[in-house]
Amino acid sequence: MAPPGPAGAQPTSAEPLSRSIFRKFLLMLCSLLTSLYIAYCLAERCQPLSSPVVGSEGAAAPGRGALAGRPSELARWPAGARRKRLLRLQPWRWRRPPAPPSEADGEEAAWEEESPGLPGGPGGSGAGSSVAESPPGTLALLLDEGDKQLPQAIIIGVKKGGTRALLEFLRVHPDVRAVGAEPHFFDRSYHKGLAWYRGDRFPRVLQGSFSAPKSPSYFVTREAPARISAMSKDTKLIVVVRDPVTRAISDYTQTLSKRPDIPTFESLTFRNRTTGLIDTSWSAIQIGLYAKHLEHWLGHFPLRQLLFVSGERLIRDPAGELGRVQDFLGLKRIITDKHFYFNKTKGFPCLKKAEGSSKPHCLGKTKGRTHPEIDPEVVQRLRDFYRPFNLKFYQMTGHDFGWDG
């Protein structure tokens, strides 16, 4: 039998019990706080934001929420160091299906992911699952840091020129955040006002970063130049152009894939084939009159605020064209040859590593469709028709795109 303790001493058997209860209490408290934080994120913070954009908006909101103490701490860092630090705090990416294609511009958002060592890797077939990377933003964006700005630059056209490829390539740049779905504000939704446009159309951007949307229908919309100028006369505009004859055939091919019962390309091209009169009311033909559309834009913007990207060179030399785009936007030349490889099967350049991924990515299966056989005489008549418009476009832009060689 143990010797009795000092008079008045408390039993010691209760002490381990108290520590056990305390540990259980702490565990329950941590679990509760973790559950509340996860619920808070799902309800208010962790919704996926749109990916890199050429066009952005707004005013910064103060950081708040469970991690509200960190933004003020990070705000004391130099802008460049803070941006790099925040990017390091973002080791994940949300994944969601690509936005549905727009009927107006017909640019599918499909983007294929390829696995190294499988068909579709460098030199492979390009087959893969169609997915789109959509980053949720850095920790700062989750905490409402960064600005919601109106677009500093917009890819305004043209349909079937290569705007989707340009936007996806630009996503690689760490200082560019791009809108996935096309807002179509300046052609279809202008009546909703700039507050709506600024709302959830664009992601937040950190100081020194860029946001940029694309809507290929803007270039041919008569009201778009005045509307964009009213928003900001300093907006930079990017136009991806392509041989208008090839562009028209590609436009028709896309429509044919959706509506197999449409008339032939030859019958739609002419008002009267006997006289050879081209039907310029057909949108596939009308879009290629680049000089006429450009006149409307030059009435509101100086030529120096427009960059014309060659759709042909975007395929042959994507790094070269992206270099010009980065210079135009005032961005550091980060996207270079090392980011691309040419997929011979698809006939398009692909990214070795797409934004937010460690795997090769190619444009989706809807890109690079096989064009139908077109009567060579009709093709030649179209080339003759477009020649004077092309020459005027060369003069207006100061650049010969070589479509008449």
In tens, the pLDDT along 219-262 reads 999 999 999 999 999 999 999 999 999 999 999 999 999 999 99
Confidence band, pLDDT 50/70/90 cuts, at residue 370:
confident
Mean pLDDT, rounded, for 365-394? 90
How many angstroms separate the CA atoms of 221 and 102, rounded? 15
pTM value is 0.65
Q: Cα–Cα–Cα angle for 150, 153, 156, nearest 5°?
A: 110
Tokens describing residue 173 = 């740049």
Tokens describing residue 211 = 């946001």
Are 50 and 135 spatial neighbours (Cβ–Cβ below 8 Å)?
A: no
Q: What is the pLDDT of residue 92?
A: 36
Are 310 and 321 spatial neighbours (Cβ–Cβ below 8 Å)?
A: yes
Question: Which pLDDT tens digit goes with each residue over 12-69?
Answer: 455 566 777 888 888 888 888 888 877 766 654 454 433 334 443 333 333 333 333 3
Mean pLDDT, rounded, for 208-215? 72
Residues in the chain, total? 405
- Percentage of the chain beyond pLDDT 90 is 42
276: left (phi over 0), alpha (psi -120 to 50) or beta: left
Nearest-10 Cα torsion for 295, 300, 305, 307: -30
Whether the bond between 158 and the residue before it is cis, its omega within 30 degrees of 0, is: yes
Are 178 and 86 spatial neighbours (Cβ–Cβ below 8 Å)?
A: no
Please tell me which of 14-23, 26-35, 273-282, 384-393 the model is most confident about, judged by mean pLDDT. Answer: 384-393
Helix/strand/coil (H/E/C) assignment for every residue in 325-359: HHHHCCCCCCCCHHHEEEECCCCEEEECCCCCCCC
Q: Does residue 131 have a pLDDT over 70?
A: no
Q: SS3 for 377?
A: helix
* Beta strand ranges found along 73-191 (DSSP E): 94-96, 111-113, 129-130, 132-134, 153-157, 176-177
DSSP structure string for 262-273: SPPHHHHHEEET
Neighbour count for residue 123 (Cβ, 10 Å): 12
Q: Does residue 155 have a pLDDT over 90?
A: yes
Nearest Cα neighbor of 219 from 308, 340, 123 is 308
Please tell me which of 84-98, 107-121, 126-140 the model is most confident about, judged by mean pLDDT. Answer: 84-98
Confidence band, pLDDT 50/70/90 cuts, at residue 114:
very low
Task: Count Cα atoms within 13 angstroms, Cβ side, for 283.
Answer: 16
Choice between 363 and 261, residue whose per-residue pLDDT is larger:
261
